[in-house]
Every structure is written in C-alpha cells, then in structure tokens.
Amino acid sequence: MFTVPKGWADMSEMRRICFDISRDDEKSLEYLATEEGMDVPEYLRSLVSRYLFDLQVGAGSPDFSEKREFPRKQVSILGVSCVRFSDNEMRSYPVIVEDISEGGLRISFRSVDSVLAEKLAFADYFEVVFTVPETTHTVSFYCKRMWASSQTSLNLAGCFEGANDMSVDLVSRMIIEAA
C-alpha cells in the first residue's frame, strides 16, 4: 500500500491506492527497494513519481501540457532553501535551482538520505535564496510546494507566494536575456 498525489496542483491532498501483486513481484520489489536503501512503500512512491515526472516533462509527450503560466528557463544556480516542515520546524539546506519562471521554480537537494528526503517532499512551503547570475543581486522567494519527485536527487517545485516586484523583475530579465 502506498500514497500518491490526488492531483498535480496540490500534493497536500493524498489518496491511498491499494493493489494486489504476486509473491514473486513482492520479493522483487523488496529486493529493488533494499538496493535503493528504501522500504517498499517509499520505493513505490519514488517509482510512480519518477514515471509520472518522466511522462510530464518527456519530449514529445502530447498528453501533458506545460503547467506553468510563464515560460521556464533551465538553469543551474547554487542556493539555500529554508524548509518549513508540517510541525513548524524550519531548517536550511543547500540546493540547486534547476529551472525558474516568473511564477515559480524547481530546486534539487543533493545528498539527502531517504528519511530526510521524504520529510522534505511533504513540506508545505519552502524558501529559496540565491544570487541572480551575472549580477550582485540576491533574491529570496517563498514558495508553496506544488510537487516533489525523487530520482537521483530530491526535486521540489513550487509557485511563488507574495514575491516582491524587484525579485520577479530580475528573474524576468534573466529569462529574457537567455532567450
């Protein structure tokens, strides 16, 4: 038994999905999960998330349209993310901003263990601070988590909440200059 998001837009609403598998398939899943350092439910969540993520961003996939209102730019910017967990605990972690648009961004956490990755994946909000490339301006964005994916690293995507105009303008210029 494992849980998956009810919808792409808000991962805070979860649904439980149950299904039957053969004993041989169960043994295979246990082996694969152990190889990845996870338990079976965690491995299945990761597997389903990875599959759906690949479908969503896969080249030429006609069934999934761009979810963001604004065009995104692929980047690789070092930053720091302060994550608020459901118990109101806040922690900071190094991240890489993987892509960004005027309305949101996607970050990846490197080198986090599976327990921390699961805790991060279910955080409701996170903040990201980074310096805009080729400038001396540091920006901060408070984001509502939209989805999480665990492939080679944990990825969180979020939409900006209450972003100030100067920060959004700097990101807009960065996106335009790269086009």
Place of tokens 């759906």: 52
Phi then psi for 154, rounded to 5 degrees?
-80, 130
What is the predicted pLDDT for the residue at 68?
62
Total domains, the chain: 2
**Both 78 and 47 in a single domain?**
no
Instruction: Please check whether residue 62 lies inside any domain of the structure.
Output: no
Instruction: Please check whether residue 106 lies inside any domain of the structure.
Output: yes
Q: Which domain holds residue 140?
A: 73-178
**Both 40 and 77 in a single domain?**
no
pTM to 2 decimals?
0.61
Q: Mention every residue, 6+ apart, whose C-beta is less than 8 A from residue 70.
A: 101, 102, 103
Q: What CATH number does residue 27 fall under? A: 1.10.1220
What is the predicted pLDDT for the residue at 149?
85
Query: What is the separation of C-alpha 174 from the centre of its chain, rounded to a whole number of angstroms?
Result: 22
Instruction: Please check whether residue 67 lies inside any domain of the structure.
Output: no
**55 token code pair:** 């479908």
**98 token code pair:** 């993987």
Q: What CATH number does residue 108 fall under? A: 2.40.10.220
Dihedral over Cα of 18, 23, 25, 28: its sign:
positive
Place of tokens 């246990």: 30
Instruction: Give the amino acid at 84.
Output: R
Mean pLDDT by 10 residues, the chain (179 residues): 44 68 85 85 81 55 53 91 82 93 91 84 90 91 89 87 89 77
Strands (E) across the chain are located at: 2-5, 14-17, 73-84, 90-100, 104-109, 125-131, 138-150, 154-160
**Both 150 and 88 in a single domain?**
yes
**Both 174 and 102 in a single domain?**
yes
What is the predicted pLDDT for the residue at 65?
46
